[in-house]
Chains A and B, each alone.
Chain A
């Protein structure tokens, strides 16, 4: 244990308004900590820069799964165990449930939160590709009120996002319009469990009269942050899925992807496997279309 607990202050105001008040009066001073599955690792490694932390654990206003006719609303304090246990979510938005099962293992899932995963903003974040493929929106809150942005605009750099110093992630909104979409997700890690993603791809597509009328691709580790593959989508949008489409899509992905070499994998591997996953998805679309 390289961190010194005596050098870090941790407050637990216990309610959302109290936390927001703290952030408003001392913006940028207090680092929110939810389940701690990221920050406590840094603490043990002696790398926890934040001296002042505010606990979000146990704040009911952040931990919920609700839905309206048009969307699911997932509180930022919702754990991945909560997500996995929700039957309706699993039925309607299965990519979210699958993603939740990828976080570490059971003991990590009971503490890791949606908010933590998104705000930590690793390019390899497990929950992000599905949210991108589902066209999700994130809702942020401060004492000044709430605002929403498309999740695909939430990250604006390596481990950077659009939250301003007095803001917290409040919830993720996922539209309920994917029942007829063909859905795909696959993560490639170092092993079957407890694995950081080398590359992951989520895809949702709608076929209308044999043409791809909608396609969304969300990828991990093909950019400095989890991102949509817009140019690759453009190569598929409006097309019938043929061998030529697949080749064009593959080429587009290979060009659009900007992975890096790091301790876990190589850029070249990520790029190629990303393309292979895309091909897997497209073959599924092709099969759907077959008479």
Chain B
């Protein structure tokens, strides 16, 4: 089903804009770049999780005069990383709150000299008792952050949950847990910085949000806007892991550059990146649900907690999204969500594709299957009976004004996966086969863009300019594999009536482009795409009004008119600022109203095989049917879904962050396990398209949606295969084994 108007470029799979450079090995990532006179930097990190720094000694076996050493005392401006709350220091000053926290920075011309130097810095601590779990934090026996360990909390209420239990035919409870997850971008974090008294700070690096880094550097160096410049280099994967961390790394490299008076490169190796940078928030979600006799939802009482780590960073916004996604794509008259993010003495958790939604979706979609089993209903039917439809209201009282086609997506997913036939076959085969197979489903939405009035607050500015026969898209939105460069230039080319090759991206350089907002929250195609569309239309109007461009124009006439405009005004440029769609009403206090301007919807189906000899679960096949507005580029869009699903499979079955005393013990690729080419199953992707009129050419967000569904679909399939309901991820074979053994023991005890 597609109701998109005909277009020449948008909606086609034009090749990736920067694809040739990437394929030829010519694309320049930060570690491929050298600057004249460049030194290398390294970091001395805390070996304890909480305590006072009593002294820092520099062993005399090192010739320190050759090195530049930076501590908190060297910071010219504010010693904090400016994000939402300024609680995270740039460098630890007298106190550390997590293992691997940065204390001292060192630079030297020869990178081989750094390791020994780092080892020669002796930090003496006075240790304080650390806390490592949400449970310890919420007990509040030991306070490690603020006055109460509570980084953030929300209360979302609709109707009257307390009154609903009495009339319920069924009440079902469950607790669901998700572990931390590492982004594992194949390119580690890296930055190069230069400092010049006249020009100020310049950094180049692997990052998602140039203006986030810019804002942070302004505070650390106490410099005005035009004395800080941030340039994104080709970025080898990000997934949210380069949303906030680059602000810290950029500041570190720049401090060393300032003090050493040389450009400084800091590129982490894998061990350091794994140990010291952000990961997905672990979560614990408790559901208590009331249903009537027909399996219709009457009330949902949800208690949702995340572990934020030692500093708040993005914990409040992750918690917000988790809260808003926790009730699932269902109609429920009474909802209460109490959510909290707790501080612990671990490396701060941060943004990761999905941003709280994967945690929330895992819980509600597992819980739906738990409910189905408890009340004796087919899990598919249970969902159908409760799906949101056009005109229904959500838990925040948002009316679904755009079409909601969950039923249709479900029908399609069931058909494409041959759901009923496979399940019947597996039920038969499982009786004798040592490998048990099952099918599982997940239904979910992902809110596109920033919550509520977030976009209004960002007030993004974006546009195009034209220079000698080439149009440039002017945005701070970055490419890191997801297709920014391609879709935005497609939109511009389409709107201007030009060829795809007529449009390029302006360099992602804060000195050259306006702030179109961060490249996060699945907002680029929808919000920034729309800005580009509008800016191009505005340019055409300007050219008609001021440069004699006709009603219908050729490519040559367009560029000629631009030259005329440029001659008169020194530039042929068109910028527009974000305008909120009408009806966006959001109450930040009551958490009520239009939580997101648009939603993408999806159904995931997983076929899983559980080997009873090895207790390993493997996904054998996977289907994903989604509606995310207009598909701007089918190959790129499909690639986003497939990649997100692969990460979701890792999240469910393979990827475990093993903390020992607050330090990531498995900080090597050998021991942090992501699926290989032999592990990822065939993945079938189908799109339905309902253009969203406020999104770029009808697009809604797509990048994060696919990471929300795999984990619950997979564990639901495992329940189908084995009869066992697992409620914690990652679910490793050792965990499956432990549960099976426990059940056998219980059975044996019962039999006695």
Contacts and interface: CB of A to CB of B under 8 A. Distances in A.
A192 B678 contact: yes
A142 to B, nearest CB: 33
A193 interface: yes
A231 B111 CA distance: 54
B614 A193 contact: no
Interface string A81-96: 0000000000000000
18 contacts: A2-B115, A45-B271, A46-B115, A192-B676, A193-B677, A193-B678, A194-B676, A263-B665, A263-B666, A266-B734, A268-B741, A269-B615, A269-B737, A269-B738, A273-B614, A276-B612, A276-B613, A277-B613
B654 interface: yes
B734 A265 contact: yes
Interface stretch (B222-230, B439-447, B566-574, B667-675): B667-675
B612 to A, nearest CB: 8
Interface in B638-684: 654, 658, 665-666, 668, 670-671, 673, 675-679
A263 B616 contact: no
B734 A191 contact: no
A204 to B, nearest CB: 20
Contacts of B66: none
A190 B673 contact: yes
A4 B679 contact: no
A195 B616 CA distance: 14
A223 interface: no
Contacts of A268: 737-738, 741
Nearest to A261: B734
B394 to A, nearest CB: 39
Interface string B266-307: 000101000000000000000000000000000000000000
Contacts of A195: 673
A277 B676 CA distance: 24
Nearest to A194: B676
A191 B677 contact: no
Given A191-B679, A192-B679, A1 B269 contact: yes
A269 B735 CA distance: 9
A168 to B, nearest CB: 27
Contacts of A263: 658, 665-666, 671
A5 B115 CA distance: 13
Interface string B311-350: 0000000000000000000000000000000000000000
Interface in B662-708: 665-666, 668, 670-671, 673, 675-679
Q: Is the interface of B mostly helix, strand, loop or mixed?
A: loop
A: interface residue count bin: 20 to 34
Contacts of A194: 676
B64 to A, nearest CB: 18
Interface centre among B615, B675, B678, B734 (most CB of A within 10 A): B734
Interface residues of B, number: 28
B115 A191 contact: no
Interface string B172-198: 000000000000000000000000000
Interface string A26-45: 00000000000000000011
A83 to B, nearest CB: 20
Contacts of A2: 115, 269, 271
A211 interface: no
Interface in A192-244: 192-196
B613 A193 contact: no
A191 B678 contact: yes
Interface string A180-193: 00000000101111
A144 interface: no
A186 B269 CA distance: 34
Nearest to A191: B679
Given A190-B654, A191-B678, A6 B112 contact: yes
Interface string A249-291: 0000000000000011110110011001101100000000000
A157 B146 CA distance: 51
B658 A269 contact: no
Interface in A37-64: 44-46
A268 B677 CA distance: 29
B634 interface: no
Contacts of B665: 263
Contacts of A280: 613
Given A190-B673, A192-B678, 14 more contacts: A1-B111, A44-B269, A46-B115, A188-B614, A191-B654, A191-B675, A191-B679, A192-B676, A193-B678, A264-B671, A269-B733, A273-B733, A276-B614, A277-B613
